C-alpha cells in the first residue's frame, strides 16, 4: 500500500514561504508527476514527502499515518536522485545491498534480493564494479536497483533522467514506465520536462511558485488547462496565447490555440501573416509566423509542408480547440 | 627555442627550490651531524661541517643517562591518544557544521580558531592549578587531555573543510536507505572522508609530538615525553652540544620518518580545497 495524502502542507526557508499551502491525494499504485519551471517548489515538495526537509506546517499521511515528524528511514520510501548519489566506495552489489543491510536482513535474503534486482535491471555483469567504472545509464539503473530492492511503499524520483543524453533519456523513460507496470507501486516523479510528464504520468501536478495550478491526467491538462500558466506550460511547442483576442472572442481577455490546431493555407483563412522561420523536424514542420494584427504565432504541420521564410500564409484555428481565459487568467468553461 | 627556454626555467626553479629547502632543513641536518661529533668537535671554531671523528658515544650516554624508550613510549601515547580523542570529538562537530549548519556556524568556527591565537602562557597558571587539583599533573591522561583540547580547533576545521566537499545527496541517499545518524557517519561519511581524516590525523600527531610548552610545564618524570627528554640536556652545568644534538636526533627521528613516508598525504591534506 502506498497512498500518500498531503494536508495543508507549508514550507518556509527562513522568512521565505516557498510552499504556502498544498493539499494533494496520491492513490496507491499511481504514477504522479510533479512538473513546473525551475524554482516552483516541486523538488521541495518531494523532499518534504521523503522527510529530507521538515514541514513548517501540515500533515503528510502515508497509508493513513501522519509521518511529518518521522525521519526518512522510518517512512518506508525509496528515492532516486538526479545525481544518482551512489556510494563511490562500495561495489554495485554493496550499493544495492545497502538498504537491506540497514534493515538488518540476513545474508541469504540480501544475496537473493540483490541478484533479483540486478537481473531485472541488466546489472548482473556489473555487480563487482564500482560506480566510477559505469556509464551514466548503468549508474542510473544501480540507483533504481537500490530503490526497488527494499520494496518500499512508494518510489520518489527527483529528476532522475536530467543528466542523461536524449537517446538514453527516451530509453530510460520507457524502462521506468515498464517498471511501474510490473511493480504497481506508487511513484512520485519530479521533472521540468513536460514530455516526461505527459508520457509517464497517470496524474500530473503542475506547480508554480509553490502553488498547485492544476491536477489531472495528461490529456486532461492538455485539452482543458485550468489557467494561462498550465496552458502555456503543457504542450510543446507552447500554446499560442493571444491578448487582446481578435474579433469574435468577446468576453475573453486572452485566447489560446495550440500550434497543431491551426490549419494553414495559401489562399484563405481567418488570419493572415508572413512566415518568419520554418523548422523542419522531418515528422513535423514548425512555422513561426508574424500574423497581422495579432503578433507572433507558431503553427505545426504534419510532415513536410511547402512553405519557407518570407512566404505569405493564411491560418485558421479549429473553433472547438480555442481556449478562452478571463482577466484573472482562469479558463472560461462553457 | 620555446622548449629550450622552458627547460632552462625548469632548471632554475629546481635549483632555487633545492636552495630554499636546504636552508630550511639545515638546522636539522646540523643537529644530526653534531650528534655524531665528540663534545670537543661540536664546539670547534670555525665549525666543522662533517664530524672530524665520527662517534656513537653521545647516543650511548644519552640512553644510559635517561631512558629514551620510556620517553618515546610517553610521546607515542599522548600523540596517538590525543589524536584519537580529538577525532572522536571533532567528527560529530564537523558533521554538524558541514551538513546541519545554522546562522552561527561560521562564527563558532572562527571563535574556535581564534583561541589558537592566544599565547598559551596566558592560561598556564589556571590550567596548572586545575591539573593539580584534579591530580592530573605528570600523568599521561592529563597530557592527552590538554593536547586534545589545544589542537581540537584545527582538527575540527580541517574535517569541516573535507566534509564540505562530500556531496550532500549521498548522505541523503543513505538516510532514505534507512541509515540512522551514526550509521550514516560510519558506513558512508567516514569511508568517503578517509584521505581527509588521514591527513588530519598525521598533522595532529606531528603537532602533538612536537608540543613543548605544556609537556614541559605539566610533567616531571613520570609522563615526560621526548620534548622533556631534549630539554633535560639543557643543564645548569652548561650545554653539552653533542649530547643535546644526539637527544634531539633521537627525539625527532620517529616523526621525521613518519612525515617522510606520509608527505604526499600531508601536502594533499594541507592544500585540499585551496584550488576548486
Residue A38 lies in a domain: yes
Domain check: are A55 and A184 in the same one?
yes
What's the rounded Cα separation, in Å, for the pair B62 and B56? 10
Residue with cell 655524531: B36
Report DSSP letters for A209-245, one per residue.
TTEEEEEE-HHHHHHS-SBHHHHHHSSSSPPEEESSP
The contacts of residue A128 (CB under 8 Å, 6+ apart) are: A91, A92, A93
Best of A62, A73, A117 to mutate (most B CBs within 10 Å, chain B) = A73
Domain check: are A113 and A175 in the same one?
yes
Domain check: are A128 and A255 in the same one?
no
Angle (CA) A33 A37 A38, round 5° = 110
Domain check: are A166 and A247 in the same one?
no
Residue A330 lies in a domain: no
Task: Test B173 with A87 for CB contact under 8 angstroms.
Answer: yes
Q: Is the pLDDT of residue B154 over 50?
A: yes
- Please give the residue of chain B at the shortest CA–CA distance from A77: B176
pLDDT of res. A291: 92
pLDDT of res. B274: 47
CA distances from B147 to A236, B110, B144 (A): 66, 20, 5
Domain check: are A125 and A196 in the same one?
yes
Angle, in degrees to the nearest 10, between helices B140-164 and B105-114? 140
**Chain B residues closer than 8 Å to A52 by CB:** 172, 175-176
For chain A, the residues whose C-beta falls within 8 A of a C-beta of chain B are 50-52, 71-73, 77-79, 81-83, 85-89, 98-99, 102-103, 146, 150, 156
Residue A89 lies in a domain: yes
Q: Beta strand pairing status for A4-13 and A240-242?
A: unpaired
In 3-state terms, chain B is what percent helix, strand and coil (to 5)? 75, 0, 25
Second-level CATH architecture of B66-232: Orthogonal Bundle (1.10)
Task: Test A102 with B188 for CB contact under 8 angstroms.
Answer: no
Q: Is the pLDDT of residue A69 over 60?
A: yes
Domain check: are A212 and A114 in the same one?
yes
The complex's ipTM works out to 0.85
CA distance A211 to chain B (A): 25
Residue A236 lies in a domain: no
Which of A230, A255, A279 lies at the terminal end of a domain, its last residue?
A: A230
Residue A209 lies in a domain: yes
Which of A230, A257, A274 lies at the terminal end of a domain, its last residue?
A: A230
Number of domains forming the structure of chain A: 2
What's the rounded Cα separation, in Å, for the pair B269 and B195? 8
Best of A48, A74, A81, A105 to mutate (most B CBs within 10 Å, chain B) = A81
The contacts of residue B159 (CB under 8 Å, 6+ apart) are: B90, B91, B93, B94, B193, B196, B197, B200
Q: Where are the alpha helices (DSSP H) in B165-276?
A: 168-176, 181-183, 190-192, 194-210, 213-217, 226-231, 241-261, 263-271
Q: In the structure grid, which three cell numbers stand for residue B103, read together?
A: 546562522
**DSSP letter (8 states) at residue A246:** P
C-alpha closest to that of B175 among B187, B160, B193, B192: B187
Q: Beta strand pairing status for A16-26 and A65-66?
A: unpaired
Residue A333 lies in a domain: no
Domain check: are A19 and A119 in the same one?
yes
Host domain of residue A271: 241-325
Q: How confident is the model at residue B238 (pLDDT cuts 50, 70, 90)?
A: low
Q: How confident is the model at residue B247 (pLDDT cuts 50, 70, 90)?
A: confident
CATH number at residue A34: 3.40.50.300
Task: Test B180 with A86 for CB contact under 8 angstroms.
Answer: no
The Cβ of residue A257 has, within 10 Å, a number of other Cβ atoms equal to 22
- Please give the residue of chain A at the shortest CA–CA distance from B103: A14
User: How do residues A78-136 score in pLDDT, each as one tens digit?
Assistant: 999 998 999 999 999 999 999 999 999 999 999 999 999 999 888 999 999 999 999 88
Amino acid at each position: 500500500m502506498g497512498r500518500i495524502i498531503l494536508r495543508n502542507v507549508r514550507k518556509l526557508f527562513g522568512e521565505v514561504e516557498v510552499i504556502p499551502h498544498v493539499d494533494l491525494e496520491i492513490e496507491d499504485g499511481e504514477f504522479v508527476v510533479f512538473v513546473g519551471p525551475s524554482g516552483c517548489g516541486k523538488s521541495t515538495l518531494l523532499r518534504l514527502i521523503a522527510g529530507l526537509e521538515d514541514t513548517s506546517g501540515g500533515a503528510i499521511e502515508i497509508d493513513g499515518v501522519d509521518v511529518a515528524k518521522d525521519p526518512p528511514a522510518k517512512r518506508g520510501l525509496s528515492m532516486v536522485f538526479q545525481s544518482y548519489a551512489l556510494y563511490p566506495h562500495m561495489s554495485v552489489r554493496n550499493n544495492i545491498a545497502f538498504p537491506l543491510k540497514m534493515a538488518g536482513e540476513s545474508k541469504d535474503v540480501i544475496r537473493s534480493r540483490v541478484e533479483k534486482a540486478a537481473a531485472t535491471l541488466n546489472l548482473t555483469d556489473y555487480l563487482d564494479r564500482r560506480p566510477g567504472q559505469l556509464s551514466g545509464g548503468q549508474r542510473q539503473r544501480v540507483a533504481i536497483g537500490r530503490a526497488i530492492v527494499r520494496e518500499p511503499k512508494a518510489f520518489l524520483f527527483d529528476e532522475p533522467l536530467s543528466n542523461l543524453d536524449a537517446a538514453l533519456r527516451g530509453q530510460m523513460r520507457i524502462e521506468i514506465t515498464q517498471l511501474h507496470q510490473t511493480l504497481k507501486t506508487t511513484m512520485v516523479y519530479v521533472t521540468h520536462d513536460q514530455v516526461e510528464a505527459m508520457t509517464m504520468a497517470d496524474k500530473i501536478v503542475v506547480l508554480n511558485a509553490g502553488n498547485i495550478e492544476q491536477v489531472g491526467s495528461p490529456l486532461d491538462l492538455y485539452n482543458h488547462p485550468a489557467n494561462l500558466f498550465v496552458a502555456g506550460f503543457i504542450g510543446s511547442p507552447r500554446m499560442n496565447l493571444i491578448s487582446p483576442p481578435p474579433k469574435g472572442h468577446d468576453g475573453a481577455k486572452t485566447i489560446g490555440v495550440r500550434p497543431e490546431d491551426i490549419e494553414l493555407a495559401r489562399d484563405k483563412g481567418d488570419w493572415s501573416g508572413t512566415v518568419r522561420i520554418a523548422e523542419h523536424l522531418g515528422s513535423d514542420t514548425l512555422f513561426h509566423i508574424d500574423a497581422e494584427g495579432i503578433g507572433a504565432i507558431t503553427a505545426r504541420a504534419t510532415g513536410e509542408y511547402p512553405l519557407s521564410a518570407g512566404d505569405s500564409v493564411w491560418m485558421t484555428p479549429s473553433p472547438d480547440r480555442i481556449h478562452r481565459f478571463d482577466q484573472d487568467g482562469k479558463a472560461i468553461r462553457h | 627555442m620555446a622548449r629550450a627556454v622552458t627547460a632552462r626555467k625548469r632548471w632554475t626553479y629546481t635549483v632555487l627550490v633545492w636552495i630554499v629547502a636546504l636552508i630550511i632543513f639545515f638546522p636539522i641536518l646540523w643537529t644530526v651531524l653534531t650528534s655524531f661529533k665528540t663534545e670537543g668537535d661540536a664546539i670547534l671554531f670555525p665549525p666543522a661541517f662533517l664530524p672530524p671523528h665520527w662517534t656513537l658515544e653521545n647516543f650511548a650516554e644519552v640512553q644510559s643517562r635517561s631512558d629514551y624508550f620510556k620517553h618515546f613510549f610517553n610521546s607515542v601515547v599522548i600523540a596517538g591518544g590525543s589524536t584519537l580523542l580529538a577525532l572522536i570529538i571533532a567528527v560529530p562537530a564537523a558533521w554538524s557544521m558541514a551538513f546541519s549548519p545554522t546562522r552561527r556556524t561560521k562564527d563558532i568556527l572562527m571563535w574556535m580558531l581564534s583561541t589558537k591565537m592566544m599565547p598559551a602562557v596566558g592560561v598556564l597558571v589556571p590550567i596548572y592549578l586545575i591539573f593539580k587539583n584534579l591530580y592530573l599533573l605528570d600523568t599521561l591522561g592529563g597530557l592527552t587531555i590538554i593536547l586534545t583540547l589545544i589542537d581540537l580547533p584545527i582538527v575540527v576545521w580541517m574535517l569541516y573543510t573535507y566534509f564540505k566537499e562530500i556531496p550532500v545527496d549521498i548522505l541523503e541517499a543513505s538516510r532514505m536507505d534507512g541509515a540512522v545518524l551514526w550509521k550514516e557517519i560510519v558506513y558512508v561519511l567516514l569511508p568517503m572522508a578517509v584521505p581527509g581524516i588521514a591527513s588530519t590525523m598525521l598533522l595532529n600527531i606531528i603537532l602533538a609530538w612536537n608540543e613543548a610548552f605544556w609537556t614541559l610545564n605539566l610533567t616531571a618524570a613520570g609522563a615526560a615525553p621526548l620534548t622533556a627528554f631534549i630539554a633535560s640536556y639543557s643543564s645548569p652545568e652548561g650545554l653539552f652540544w653533542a649530547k643535546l644534538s644526539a637527544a634531539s636526533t633521537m627525539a625527532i627521528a620517529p616523526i621525521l620518518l613518519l612525515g617522510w613516508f606520509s608527505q604526499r598525504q600531508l601536502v594533499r591534506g594541507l592544500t585540499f580545497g585551496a584550488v576548486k
